[in-house]
């Protein structure tokens, strides 16, 4: 996903396929929530409704016949049901969803949204819902099968979308012939198919789905980690963003994330949408969040530090 230091990127994420473990913690100091099956009363943008803003990129988030579909919305829907909330989805361009959550006009934003230190300073970020490695998109005719390295980009054209978190590292690949940035996924993909671009790095789950649905003569190959290009090659935490001034709702949803992990529902839901690689379930180690927005016990620190409410009884 794209990087957003202040919630104001310029990337328009039109989807060419818009088809209609971490626990919150047993950290000490959690404020108790009354045990029982009754859903808690939670403040939301719209009473009784969990408003989800997303970009509509399948297999992560979309609407079909007016109903939420995709990995992240299916996960969120199961949590919302436990919390006694109706799920409503707004599909808009990426800068708008970030700004909506940051300003409190939406409750939630997700869909392979990578954790970064700047983002943790402007929104509350849940524990990871899955983990994503970096993959290079290329034509099937390319010789790479099991892996590709930054060194393989030498003399070749590489590309991505404007505002993606790893673009600064991509621009450091001085051996590359050219770095091209695109305003949308579809235009970038068309250039790879047409041979105008050799390699691209985008949202791996989205691209896998696009290749599968359209029988494109493309493939994704894992990029070997290179400490000189950590943003371009390291694994990421895919998290959900929530309004920073509503910690109760955040704590409740984060407890729901822990429940999904504990009960194996994350693996089930990812698999339903063809995301079956074990790598999506393997945590990033060591956690990059320590001392930034998490302490060693897993508690939230930083600008949104608060005494977490324990909603685990709702997900018993």
Q: Does position 20 have pLDDT exceeding 50, yes or no? A: no
Q: Which of 101, 95, 85, 131 is nearest to 12 (CA)?
A: 95
Mean pLDDT of 68-81: 98
Overall number of domains in the chain: 2
Residue 164 has a pLDDT of 86
Q: Do 246 and 306 reside in the same domain of the chain?
A: yes
Mean pLDDT of 93-113: 92
Q: What percent of the chain has pLDDT over 70?
A: 88
Mean pLDDT of 294-309: 96
The beta-carbon contacts of 293-301 under 8 Å, at least 24 apart in sequence, are 293/117, 293/120, 293/125, 297/25, 297/27, 297/28, 298/22, 298/23, 298/24, 298/25, 298/27, 298/127, 299/25, 299/27, 299/29, 300/124
Confidence of residue 35 (pLDDT cuts 50, 70, 90): very low
Residue 26 has a pLDDT of 29
Domain-ending residue, one of 208, 233, 258: 233
230-241 per-position pLDDT tens digit: 999 998 899 999
| Cα 108 versus chain centre, distance | 12
Residue 43 domain-assigned (yes or no): no
Residue 35 domain-assigned (yes or no): no
161-208 per-position pLDDT tens digit: 998 889 999 999 999 999 999 998 899 999 999 999 999 999 888 888
| Cα 181 versus chain centre, distance | 20
Residue 2 domain-assigned (yes or no): no
Residue 30 has a pLDDT of 38
Confidence of residue 37 (pLDDT cuts 50, 70, 90): low
Confidence of residue 33 (pLDDT cuts 50, 70, 90): very low
Q: Do 150 and 270 reside in the same domain of the chain?
A: no
Residue 60 contacts residue 111 (beta carbons within 8 Å): yes
Q: Do 148 and 211 reside in the same domain of the chain?
A: yes
- Containing domain of residue 95, as a range? 49-131+236-315
106-117 per-position pLDDT tens digit: 999 999 898 999
Residue 83 domain-assigned (yes or no): yes
Q: What percent of the chain has pLDDT over 90?
A: 70
242-297 per-position pLDDT tens digit: 999 999 999 999 999 999 999 999 999 998 887 887 888 989 988 999 999 999 99
Cα distances (Å, whole numbers) of residue 98 to 62, 112, 121, 123, 180: 17, 13, 13, 9, 24
Q: Do 252 and 216 reside in the same domain of the chain?
A: no
The pLDDT mean for the chain works out to: 87
258: tokens are 């822990």
Residue 20 domain-assigned (yes or no): no
Residue 254 has a pLDDT of 98
Q: Do 196 and 265 reside in the same domain of the chain?
A: no
135-168 per-position pLDDT tens digit: 999 999 999 998 999 999 999 999 999 988 899 9
DSSP per-residue string spanning the chain: -B--SSS--------TT------S---TTPBP---SSSPPP---SBTTEEEEEE---TTTSEEETTEEESHHHHHHHHHHHHTT-EEEEEE--HHHHHHHHHHTSSSEEEEEEE--HHHHTTSEEPSPSEEE--EEEEETTSS-SS-B-GGGGBTSEEEEETTBTTHHHHHT-TTBSEEEEESSHHHHHHHHHHTS-SEE---HHHHHHHHHHHT-SEEEEEBPP-TTSHHHHS-EEEEEEE-TT-HHHHHHHHHHHHHHHHTTHHHHHHHHTT---GGGGSPPSS-TTBTTTB-TTS-B-GGG----B--GGGG-
Q: How far apart are CA 156 and CA 178, in angstroms?
A: 7
Q: Do 127 and 274 reside in the same domain of the chain?
A: yes
Residue 11 domain-assigned (yes or no): no
CATH number at residue 213: 3.40.190.10
Domain-ending residue, one of 217, 233, 249: 233
Residue 15 contacts residue 287 (beta carbons within 8 Å): no
Q: How far apart are CA 174 and CA 155, in angstroms?
A: 9
Q: What angle do CA 64, 249, 313 make, to 5 degrees?
A: 100
Q: Does position 5 have pLDDT exceeding 50, yes or no? A: no
Q: Half-sphere exposure (CA, 13 Å, Cβ side) for 65?
A: 0
Residue 211 has a pLDDT of 87
Q: Do 55 and 194 reside in the same domain of the chain?
A: no
Q: Does position 15 have pLDDT exceeding 50, yes or no? A: no
Q: Do 113 and 241 reside in the same domain of the chain?
A: yes
Q: Do 206 and 253 reside in the same domain of the chain?
A: no
Q: Do 119 and 153 reside in the same domain of the chain?
A: no
Residue 111 domain-assigned (yes or no): yes
Residue 25 domain-assigned (yes or no): no
Domain-ending residue, one of 233, 266, 283: 233
Q: Do 216 and 254 reside in the same domain of the chain?
A: no
Cα distances (Å, whole numbers) of residue 259 to 35, 84, 126, 298, 299: 16, 16, 13, 16, 17
Q: Do 121 and 244 reside in the same domain of the chain?
A: yes
Which residues lie closer than 8 Å to 10 by C-beta, 6 or more apart?
95, 162, 163, 183
């Amino acid at each position: 996903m794209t990087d957003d230091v202040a919630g104001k990127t310029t990337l328009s994420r039109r989807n060419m396929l818009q088809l209609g473990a971490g626990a919150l913690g047993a950290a000490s100091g959690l404020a108790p929530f009354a045990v029982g099956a009754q859903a808690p009363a939670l403040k939301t943008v719209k009473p009784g409704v969990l408003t989800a803003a997303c970009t509509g990129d399948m297999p992560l988030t979309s609407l079909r016949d007016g109903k939420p579909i995709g990995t992240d919305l299916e996960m969120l829907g199961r949590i919302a049901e436990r919390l006694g909330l109706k799920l409503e989805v707004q599909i808009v361009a990426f800068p708008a969803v970030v700004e909506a959550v940051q300003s409190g006009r939406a409750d939630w934003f997700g869909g392979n949204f990578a954790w970064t230190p700047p983002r943790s300073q402007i929104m509350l970020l849940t524990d990871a819902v899955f983990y994503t490695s970096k993959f290079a998109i290329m034509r099937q005719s390319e010789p790479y099968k099991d892996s590709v390295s930054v060194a393989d980009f030498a003399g070749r054209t590489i590309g991505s979308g404007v505002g993606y978190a790893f673009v600064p590292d991509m621009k450091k690949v001085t051996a590359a012939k050219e770095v091209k940035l695109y305003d949308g996924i579809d235009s970038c993909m068309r250039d790879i198919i047409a041979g105008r671009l050799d390699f691209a790095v985008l949202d791996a789950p989205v691209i896998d789905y696009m290749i599968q649905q359209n029988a494109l003569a493309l493939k994704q190959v894992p990029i070997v980690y290179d400490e000189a290009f950590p943003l371009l090659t390291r694994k990421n935490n895919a998290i959900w963003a929530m309004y920073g001034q509503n910690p109760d709702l955040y704590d409740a949803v984060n407890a729901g994330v822990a429940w999904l992990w504990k009960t194996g529902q994350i693996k089930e839901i990812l698999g339903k949408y063809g995301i079956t690689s074990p790598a999506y379930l393997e945590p990033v180690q060591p956690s990059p969040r320590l001392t930034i927005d998490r302490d060693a016990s897993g508690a939230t620190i930083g600008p949104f530090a608060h005494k977490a409410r324990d909603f685990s009884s709702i997900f018993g």
